[in-house]
Each structure stands twice: as structure tokens, then as C-alpha cells.
Chains A and B, each alone.
Chain A
């Protein structure tokens, strides 16, 4: 016990005095979590996860612009009509996209709403074109005969239908680097706005035309003549109930977003919720470099020889080292989770929520730290020089992190990579954290991963013990 205590105290003092080591152990993971969380937060915004700003050059200043603005906001996109006090027009908006400041500029040309309304009215007229007039007559030999067969109404309807395709175009200027998902999201919002307004305008037009048409039909059915005078027409129109248009935009089917979770945990995860544990794990596994370095230094400088000569077992030395570095990992986790909870929100990200299963999360942290520390000891025992350890250690961690889903979610990997991912200790640890922090799981959910981490640690320590005891 005295020897174990001696090793722990010695390691902690050595670490306290190793400024470069402390930078690797504390500053690096803290900076990593900070930078990656902020960057990823923005990437997720770009992918439509939360509000990203675009510029809107609304030269129309009418209903179409207002509608587009509302629907963009509903899609999580913030349309800006002014930037730094300047009202956006097409030229300014294009320039801002060109500079890479905004991913999209939407230009609504002057008169777009009026044009849309006019075309809706024309199309609504088609609804009252008699079917026989619109119906294609049987094919007759000779073009001139066919033309002759077309009556005036039919020609008018065809003309209207043709003209309706020539819309007042809404301009979309995308940054060439804008992600596909963002483009789809923006285009969908625009399509919804235009279609919604189109239906509304058509309904309005229909509402205007319908009473007049009905009045004429009533007048005709009365047998008093073909064309009523203005007064009669007005009185007959008053008899036809007005068509309301408020119901047009009311949804018939409601889409409800639900999160896959356990134990009734319904919080929708933020990027911070996933990034903090992921990058904390990545940083913490870098403990292998100072750990291996400490062991190699002891071997090179002869301290290990002196330790071998002492009446203690190699197991005590290994456990002492592991215990000291486990404490360091505990401090690292505390620091990084503190940053996620208190520092990152100051920079505009959501707060990191530890959730109700704090002891389960602590168990994952201990198992992950134990795996990192054990791997560090094995690396130190197996490497002949510090250069070997400082090359192989970080490379193996970056590879394990990439495979483990720290950088790219596992589901986004090719299937054969997903299979390899199942062998990464970082994947076991990260999945456990995500199970607890994102899906509301607890110790019962994560125990298989914790068992794997413990088995990995035991295997590493056993191999290290064999290597260090081989004298």
C-alpha cells in the first residue's frame, strides 16, 4: 500500500511540474472541445439543424416576400433584409454570397406578388371554361381544319396555361460550397411559400369569379335574356354566398417530430450534447503520450532498474501509475464537462446537459479513462523509444477516434468501416456517453460497452505487466 501511495504521489508531482505534459493533458482537450463544438455547431446549422442566416433582397415588398420570410423562419433559416444597416438589393446580396458571408441570397423581383396574383386570376378563369370548349376535338385531317375546330375559349385557355409557365422568376444565388441539404431546405421553403401563396391567390380569384359566374347562370336559367344589366348582376351576385379563403392554408395533416429515447427522456440533442463527450474522449485518450513517455523515461534513465531492485511487485508500480493518471482523467472530464455547461453557452452554443443519470455517466468516464490509461502503460512498455510512442500513440488514437464515430457519425461510414468501428474502444465509450446524454439510457443500457472497455483495459495491463516483468 505504501508503494502504491509512493507511485501515485510521485506521478502527480512529476505531472504538476511538467508544463508541456499539462498542456497536452488539459489545454489540448479543452481547446479541442471548444473549437470543434463551435465549428460543428455551425456545420449543423448549415445542415439545417438550427437557424442559419441568409440574405433576402425583397424588391417586391409585398405578400410574397412576407410569406417567404415566415416560411424560411419556420424552416430554421433566418432571412436578413438588412446587413449592417444597409437594405439588401440584388447586387449587394450577390456580393455578400460571393464574399462567403452568407450561403444564399434570395431575390424577389419587383411586382412578383402582383404578377402571381394576375396569373392566379387567369388560371382561375380556366375553372369556368366549359368542358366541351377545353376538350380536344377528334383529330381531323389537315392542320387548318384542326385550327378551325378550336373555339375562342379553348384558345384563350391554352394561351393562359402557356403564359402561366412564364412566371416572374425568384432568383436564388447559392454559395458554390453550400451543402446539398441546406440547398434542399432553402428550396423547399421557397417552393412552399410560392405554392402556398399561389393556392391562396387562386382561391381568392376563384372567390371573385364564382359569384359573378353563378349570377350569370341564375340569370340565364330565369329565361329573361342572355346578358343581365349591371344592377341585376349585382343583386344576383349578392345572393351567392362569398367564398372564404382563410381555410386554404390550414393543414390537414400534422407532422409530429419524435425523438428515439429511453425512460421518457425527450430532449432533442444539440451538437454540444454529442461533441462534448466525443471530443473529451479524444483528448483524454491523448494521455497515452505523457504516460508512455513517463515509463520510457524511467526505463532509459535507470529509475525502473531501481524500482525493479526494490521489494515491490511490478503490479503495484503499474497500478500506482494507473491510479495517478486516472485522477488526471477525472480532472480532465470535470474540466471539459464544466466547459460544456458553462463556457460554451457563453459563445452561443446550447448548454451541455448531464441529465439525470450522473452516476452512470461517471461509470462510463471511469471505464473510458481506465482504458486510455491502460493503453498508455502498454504503449510505454512496448515502445523502445519516446519517438516510437509519440508517433504510434497519437496515430492510433486518431484512427480509433475516426473509427469510433468521434469525427464522423458511424452511420455515415461505409458498411465495412462500420463493422471495424465495433472494435474501437473510443466507439464503446462514445456510444455509452451518447446513450446516457442523448438517449436517456442508464447503467443497464451501457453495461455491455463498459464490459468491453474493462476487458480492453485488463488485456492492456496484462500485456504491459508481461512486457515489464520480462527481465
Chain B
């Protein structure tokens, strides 16, 4: 479903090479965890995979449609229509209602009329916000905002979803609801790439994980396999520190 080969990306002004030959493949219905310390290249990888940023080299296909081949854009609109993005920030207009936000993002994906209204209703119900459809995002709690943020990313029923730390700063109930949603996407054969700093989340949710550091994947596999192969780590958290070190990353 999601296939990336030899992705390279550098920021010449900052003198940073963010991705150094990154390769990954995510199957339909699979949750793929992308773990790494701050500055490891996770957000750059997600931005390139979602078609937001151009790689310097490498190729990406989404559901067999090429989105980038080298630094050239391929069939971007067709591939982008299959992608759902849930950014780390609450990327919603604070003074628009939940429904108005959904309507705007839905229209960007070509939805209109009754289909759009039905999808909005369906998605808001799915994230438990049907009663607050006409409330402004401004008036939502942190958890509600996170759920609305997810709803805006799945409105067009994408085949591949990129979730960038979707559970930051929310309570246990909202987190649990989000986990249930992800399970539901999984059941509908949606491929997902999930980044998080919460190792227990990754261990619980992800079918496979990749630990990325300095723009390279330094370990890849199922969480259980990776932990079992380690000599010292007892869980994913321990393995992560073993692989990336205890030195602070700012």
C-alpha cells in the first residue's frame, strides 16, 4: 500500500541531512510505528510520504500510484486523494464549527452535496462529536480537538493514513477512543503510519515498528521480535533507549 525507497532529504541552509536512504513498506490493514528521538527525521519522513514535501531522491507509491519519483512529482492528485493526514498540531480553524471544518476539508477532496454531508455526520459520530457538530473548535477540550483533528483526516476514506503523534496531551478516555478508531481503520484494510513518543502505545497498537535515528532506520520489525532480540531491553521503551542512547536530543 505505502512503499518508499531510498528517500533522501537534506536542508542545505541548516546543513542537515534529514533522511539518508529511508526505505519502508506498509501493507493494507497494517499499523506501522515510526519511532525516533527528536530530530531523527520522523516529521520529514511523514511530510514526504504524505506528498507535502519533495524528496531529493527516492520514490514513493501509494496504492501503486507513484507520488514522487526522484525529486519529480508524479501523479500527485490521484495519489493524494488516497492519503489521509492527521498532523501533530490541531490543524483546524478555531473559529469554524466542527461541521464547517469538515465541509472545507471534504470539499478539498472533491466531496460535495449529500455525500459530503453524510460523510461529515458519519465521521463526527465515529469520533463521538456528533452532538458538538455545530460548536466552534475553539470551545472544544483537548481530547475533542484531537478527535476532530482525526475526523478531518479520514473524511474522504483514505487508503493510507499518516498520524503524527495523535495522542499528545489528552486524557485516558480520549486516548482509548483513538485506539479503538485505529483498530477500526485496521479492520477496513487501511494502511497507517503512526509516530509517537509513547512506547507503550506503539507496543500496543503497531504491527511493526521502525526506529529511525539520524535519517536512517536503525531497527525494523514487530515490537515483540525487536524486544526479544535485545540482550538488555525488557520492553520497547528499553529497546528504544538501547538503540538511540540516553543522550538528550534537542
Contact = CB atoms under 8 A, between A and B. Distances in A.
Interface string B144-177: 0000000011000000000000000000000000
Nearest to A300: B89
A254 B198 CA distance: 94
Of A2, A13, A301, A310, most B-chain CB atoms within 10 Å: A310
B83 interface: yes
Q: For chain B, what secondary structure do more than half of its interface residues adopt (helix, strand, loop), or is it mixed?
A: loop
Contact of A9 (B77, B91, B104): B104
A133 interface: no
Contact of B91 (A7, A17, A302, A471): A302
B108 interface: yes
A6 B51 CA distance: 21
A309 B51 contact: yes
Given A2-B107, A307-B108, A310-B105, A302 B93 contact: no
A2 B112 contact: yes
Contacts, number: 79
Contacts of A10: 93, 96, 100, 104
B78 interface: yes
A302 B89 contact: yes
A219 interface: no
A50 B214 CA distance: 77
A127 interface: no
B93 A311 contact: no
Interface majority SS on A: helix, strand, loop or mixed? helix
A373 to B, nearest CB: 20
Contact of B80 (A9, A17, A302, A309): A309
A408 B210 CA distance: 66
A303 interface: yes
Nearest to A471: B53
A14 B93 contact: yes
Contacts of A306: 85, 87, 91, 105, 152-153
B158 to A, nearest CB: 10
B108 A305 contact: no
Contact of B52 (A3, A13, A14, A305): A305
Contacts of A13: 96, 100
B38 interface: no
B104 A6 contact: yes
A309 B85 contact: yes
Given A13-B100, A301-B90, A311 B85 contact: no
B215 to A, nearest CB: 18
A2 B113 CA distance: 11
Place the interface of chain B in its size category: 35 or more
A465 interface: no
Contacts of A5: 107
B95 interface: yes
Nearest to B158: A309
A303 B107 contact: no
A180 B223 CA distance: 89
B135 interface: no
Interface residues of A, number: 23
A301 B92 CA distance: 8
B208 interface: no
A14 B93 CA distance: 8
Contacts of B89: 301-302, 305
A17 B95 contact: yes
A303 B88 CA distance: 11
Interface string A267-302: 000000000000000000000000000000000011
A3 B107 contact: yes
A311 B62 CA distance: 13
Which one of B80, B104, B112 has the highest number of Cβ atoms from chain A below 10 Å of its Cβ?
Answer: B104
Nearest to B92: A303
B154 to A, nearest CB: 12
B50 A309 contact: yes
Nearest to B153: A306
B1 interface: no
Contacts of B109: 310-311
B42 interface: no
Interface string B95-118: 110001001110111111000000
Given A2-B112, A6-B108, A309-B50, A14 B96 contact: yes
A9 B103 CA distance: 10
Contacts of A9: 103-104
B108 A18 contact: no
Nearest to B51: A309
B206 interface: no
B233 interface: no
A312 interface: yes
A50 B105 CA distance: 58
B100 A311 contact: no
Interface in A303-362: 303, 305-312
B104 A311 contact: no
A312 B52 contact: no
Contacts of A310: 80, 105, 108-109
Interface of A: 2-3, 5-7, 9-10, 13-14, 17-18, 301-303, 305-312, 471
16 contacts: A2-B108, A3-B110, A5-B107, A6-B108, A7-B104, A10-B100, A13-B96, A301-B90, A302-B87, A302-B89, A302-B90, A305-B89, A307-B108, A308-B51, A310-B80, A311-B77
Given A2-B108, A306-B85, 14 more contacts: A3-B107, A7-B104, A10-B104, A13-B96, A14-B95, A14-B96, A302-B89, A302-B90, A302-B91, A305-B47, A306-B152, A310-B109, A471-B52, A471-B54
